Chain A
Amino acid sequence: MSLLAISPTPPDFHFGKPDLKLLEEANQIDEAYARKGLIVTDPEINSYLEFVGNKVLANQPPLQYVNFKFRVLRDPIVNAWALPNGSVYVTTGLIARLQNEAQLAGVLSHEITHVTHRHSYLHNRDMRKKMVALDLFQAASAVGGAWAQGAANAGNSAMTAQQAASALRQQLYGMSAEIAGALGQSIMIASIVGYGREQEREADDNGVERMVTAGYDPHAVPEALNLLDEHLEYEPIITFYRDHPKTSDRVAETTKLADSQPAVAHGTYTESDYLARFAPVIVYNIRADLGSRRERTAVARARRLLAWKPDDLSYQTLLADCYRGLGAKAPEPSADELSRHGVAVDRQLYFKLTEAEEQKTLRARPGGEAQLAANRRAAEQGYLVVIAKDPTRADAFLGLGFLYEDEERKAQALDQYQRFLKVAQPENYQRLRIQRRVETLQKGLPAASASSTDPHEPATHAPAVTRER
């Protein structure tokens, strides 16, 4: 008998009008994700996710207005959430972080509980009561605040703030949360960013129970929680269940719960099997990380893929891309960066500076130029190794061309771009971009140097701002 005190699924949940409205919004969010192309459509990946999801659903009796669906969403932010209609989303960022099927099952178990226990609806009802109170408070303060509000709205400050907030929301939470927030009530954001302390705890506890029932080692739940507590980058917002309650407390609690379970034989779920299933998703996510100022995460994930398949040339090229993307950033954060002061500095860099300005600032720091040079050499080495093994790798020529152009080695950049154009498929979407670069470089180079092909020509100096990130 289980020692867990699992709160049962609310047996007689009665749907009111606001609940049905929330359900409708959840369905609209599903449609919006699909319309935007945010849902991964690979049938193999989807059927595997459905398989794991259905395994932890086990003997779940049917619930009114719930149709469980498990999907991967294209979003580099490490997150997972469930909508009240039973749609469970796991981001590519989270897939790339987890190590095996059992951990994935742990995440799904947690999210399923939010659905079965109707957390969205309960949270929504609670929020609606608070909103009325807020409106009354607003009324009470309106008289005093009218002057200030009028003054603020007279200029463009209010407009600027609102629009900046929208843009910021999108950058912080990702496109998925932005869509949900726009379509739905704040409750939909709560589903994505996290519920209250008690509901998260309930989901953890119930998740452990589901793991045991499904034949997974329940210790995978605290393992997954531990993995989420990663500090490679400055995180502008703490999403998922990383905040309340504290991860360390939850790890301790779920470990205790898992330890209390009777010892039974569990299946073996290896990282290798997991990577074999999700490698395309992880590759997508590495690219997304590179485009979202999460270069260290990209490096870590690419290293993982390469450790799994050291001879894979596409992973070698990807890792080289990641080193190039790091610019003057070290692959791992220093102890200083992890300190409170360091986090504050990183926060400032993230919010105040554009990506190019951030790189410029990093380069101006002691050791910045050396770090940039080291990253570039690692990238160059990676590309050259790939090209030596397979001289038809368009992506390696492309990366090397970008690298050389960043270093102002224009003749060599031109050469690599031309090689890219020679071997790339006609439908390669980078063609136009590279043709334009070739034209620009050809205009700026004397005829003789335009034909230089020596890849070991020493770097002269790097430009102030990296052109391609």
Chain B
Amino acid sequence: MRHLKLSILLGFAIAAVAAPALGSHKNLDLNYISPKLASGADAIHSVCVVPGEMQLTRVGMKGKEGMAGESLAWGNTLQKIVEAHFKAADVEVVNSTISPEQLDADPDAQQLVLQVQKKYDSVATQLEKNPKDIKKDRFSLGDEVAILPCSAKSDALVFFHAEGEVSTAGKHAFDVWVTGHRDEANLRISLVDSKNGDVLALIRIQREGDRYEKDPEKAYGKALDKELKKIKIGKYTAKPKK
């Protein structure tokens, strides 16, 4: 009987130690690119960043809570980081007409952005489920994207979404020792042709741990540079085959 108890205890101890390792998430960087961009037939040297959707959620033992203030701050930081890395890739960022401050002052422009964002949402389900189909040029928002004022001055529109979870101390301890789950955040960046609305590329970056919130540049910076290079924009633009 004593032997059995010891075995059970040992089993639990091993499981408690092993579970975090087995259940841990890896940092993931993925990209999907249209043949037009890959071949150099389409080149992106300027982008208009559509105001993104950034959401942090606090996860506790008794459910989830919103983090509106933190989400807004995180979103602003993330938008600046994304823009900075586009610029570092020699891609001009031309979003002065649809910056959050501008939209607050211009309800008509805000409605146009909303319309284009909804259009993006209408293809997002299939896009997120089958991102590889970008290679088949399957997804398009149509030339309705041209209604955005910044469409005329840019080669592509950038839609970006980020979601992150922040565990409370209790939930964090519980997860580390029991489920192995760690806080994680996902950043998705889609590039859409600003003339015909075709989805040209999608970048996904997943980060675990709490660094994404405390130091987003450190969490995303290198990955962004790497992925922007892979999708061949700005100074990395592919030379079209003759």
Contact = CB atoms under 8 A, between A and B. Distances in A.
Q: In this complex, which of B107, B113, B119, B146 has the most chain A Cβ atoms within 10 angstroms of its Cβ? A: B146
Interface stretch (B20-28, B77-85, B211-219, B228-236): B20-28
Interface in A169-222: 170-171, 175, 178, 182-188
A142 B19 contact: yes
Q: How large is the interface on A (under 10, 10 to 19, 20 to 34, 35 or more residues)?
A: 35 or more
Interface in A434-462: 436-437
Contacts, number: 178
B147 A430 contact: yes
Contacts of A356: 140
B146 A132 contact: no
B114 A74 contact: yes
A164 B129 contact: yes
Interface stretch (B33-41, B42-50, B63-71, B86-94): B63-71
Interface string A1-45: 000000000000000001001000100110110011110010000
A361 interface: no
Nearest to A36: B114
Interface stretch (A151-159, A250-258, A265-273): A151-159
B142 to A, nearest CB: 6
A314 interface: no
B114 A170 contact: no
Contact of A31 (B68, B113, B147, B204): B68
A131 to B, nearest CB: 4
B126 interface: yes
Nearest to A149: B23
B122 A291 contact: yes
Contacts of B110: 36-37
B225 interface: no
A18 B62 contact: yes
A374 to B, nearest CB: 23
A436 B55 contact: no
B103 interface: yes
Contacts of A167: 121, 124-125, 127-129
Nearest to B18: A146
Contacts of A304: none
Interface string B163-195: 100000001001000111100001010000001
B66 A183 contact: yes
A183 B68 contact: yes
A290 B158 CA distance: 24
B19 A154 contact: no
B188 A163 contact: yes
B30 to A, nearest CB: 6
Given A131-B63, A433-B147, A159 B163 contact: no
B76 interface: no
B126 A139 contact: no
B112 to A, nearest CB: 6
26 contacts: A25-B66, A28-B66, A28-B69, A37-B103, A38-B114, A138-B179, A146-B23, A146-B179, A150-B24, A153-B23, A156-B30, A159-B206, A160-B129, A163-B128, A166-B163, A168-B128, A171-B124, A182-B53, A184-B66, A185-B66, A293-B122, A353-B126, A429-B112, A432-B152, A436-B146, A436-B195
4 cross-chain pairs, A with B, having the tightest CB-CB distances, nearest first: A150-B22, A183-B66, A433-B146, A182-B55
Interface of B: 12, 15, 18-19, 21-26, 28, 30, 53, 55, 57, 61-69, 71, 103-104, 107, 110-115, 117-119, 121-129, 131, 138-140, 142-144, 146-147, 149, 151-152, 161, 163, 171, 174, 178-181, 186, 188, 195, 204, 206
Given A131-B62, A143-B19, A167-B125, 8 more contacts: A147-B22, A153-B25, A159-B28, A185-B64, A354-B126, A429-B112, A430-B147, A432-B152
